Amino acid sequence: MQLRVSVLGAGSFGTTVAHLATHNTPTTLWCRRTEAAEEVNAQHTNSRYLPDYPLSPRLRATDSLEKAVRDADVLVMGVPSHGMRDVLADVARYIRPWVPVVSLAKGLEPESHLRMTQVIREVLPEHRAGVLTGPNLAKEIMAGFAAASVISFEDPDVARQLQSVFHLGVFRVYTNRDVVGCELGGALKNVIAIATGMGDGLGVGDNTRSAVITRGLAELTRLGVAMGGQPGTFAGLAGMGDLIATCTSRQSRNRHVGEELGKGRSIDEIIADMNQVAEGVKTTRVVMELGAKFDVDLPITREVHGVLYEGRTALDAYRGLTRRGPGSEDDPD
């Protein structure tokens, strides 16, 4: 029997995941806007988020949350982290018992500091929660370029079953039992991407970019391990792989935010011009609080926080990073 999949959230990656899944199993995409659902059904496109990329004609869309959820065997949450809890509260009225829930969001809940699977388990305690994550730039996947992702559940049987739902052609899906590490890798790398983008906006050069990415990986690994993630996860697709893609691609929203900050624009101006969420902006504040809680030094995150929330400039941030004294690469910065 084929599993019926519902993806909630018609942003670029939510739509991409729905497009992939519908090749393997009946899939429904929930859109907040009625006109978006009508466009997917009639024209097989999502022009707001994925212009010029045709969607599978088998993909069905709806603006009714009840219709999207009530018959689903697998629920995929493609909404941003700050809106996850509210949507899940609505989902709770319609979801059938024991349906697994997969998060696509790469962020942390601002007030509680919870990962998205923790939020899912709080709101839907009888449902198994996991994450699909990795270096997955939506437009490249839609263009047919090879990509790899990770499906992570604590129960390996669930992960293996869902692996076949999302795996398609050159989009390879691997399993991983380290849910904590997979989620934290996806969330923490966004902060480093903002830092990398600031350097690009300032024109600091490739050597500096490489140093920021590498030391950024060390930084997010320290915090991730302190919070319960496995070191090897941060060296894999959900850690280093996602970090490289997000820090170097011009499709990366978080790198774009950093680049515009490096050019001297304010964060309010940058966000006002964007039609999608850059999770790293809110995540930076949360990561600083987590660093204090777990007693982990986060020099790159601290400089990004200074630019986003303390009125400093990107140039101030890079001066702060370069003024740090040298030490051993084996030691924290």
Is residue 325 scored above 60 in pLDDT? Answer: no
Q: Is the pLDDT of residue 330 over 80?
A: no
Residue 96 is classified by DSSP as P
Residues 117-136 pLDDT 10s: 999 999 999 999 999 999 99
Kindly list the catalytic residues.
Answer: 189
The CATH class of 183-322 is mainly alpha
**Quick check: 297 pLDDT over 70?**
yes
Integer angstrom CA distances of residue 237 from 65, 162, 194, 300: 32, 18, 19, 22
**Which two structure tokens, joined as six digits, stand for 271?**
């966000």
Fold category of 5-177 in CATH:
Rossmann fold (3.40.50)
Task: Return the beta strands (E) in 38-94 as ranges.
Answer: 60-62, 74-77
Average pLDDT score, the chain: 94
Q: Answer whether 5-177 and 183-322 agree in fold.
A: no
Assign residue 44 a region: left if phi > 0, alpha if psi is -120 to 50, beta otherwise? left
Reported as a pLDDT band with limits 50, 70 and 90, residue 178 is very high
Provide mean pLDDT across the span 219-229: 97
pLDDT band at 322 (very low <50, low <70, confident <90, very high): confident
Tell me if 291 sits within 8 A of 108, measured CB to CB: no
Domain ranges of the chain: 5-177, 183-322
Which pTM value belongs to this model?
A: 0.93
Angle between helical axes of 116-123 and 84-91 (0-180°, round to 10): 30
The strand pairing partners of 103, in sequence order, are 77, 131
pLDDT digits (tens, 9 = 90+) for 91-114: 999 999 999 999 999 999 989 999
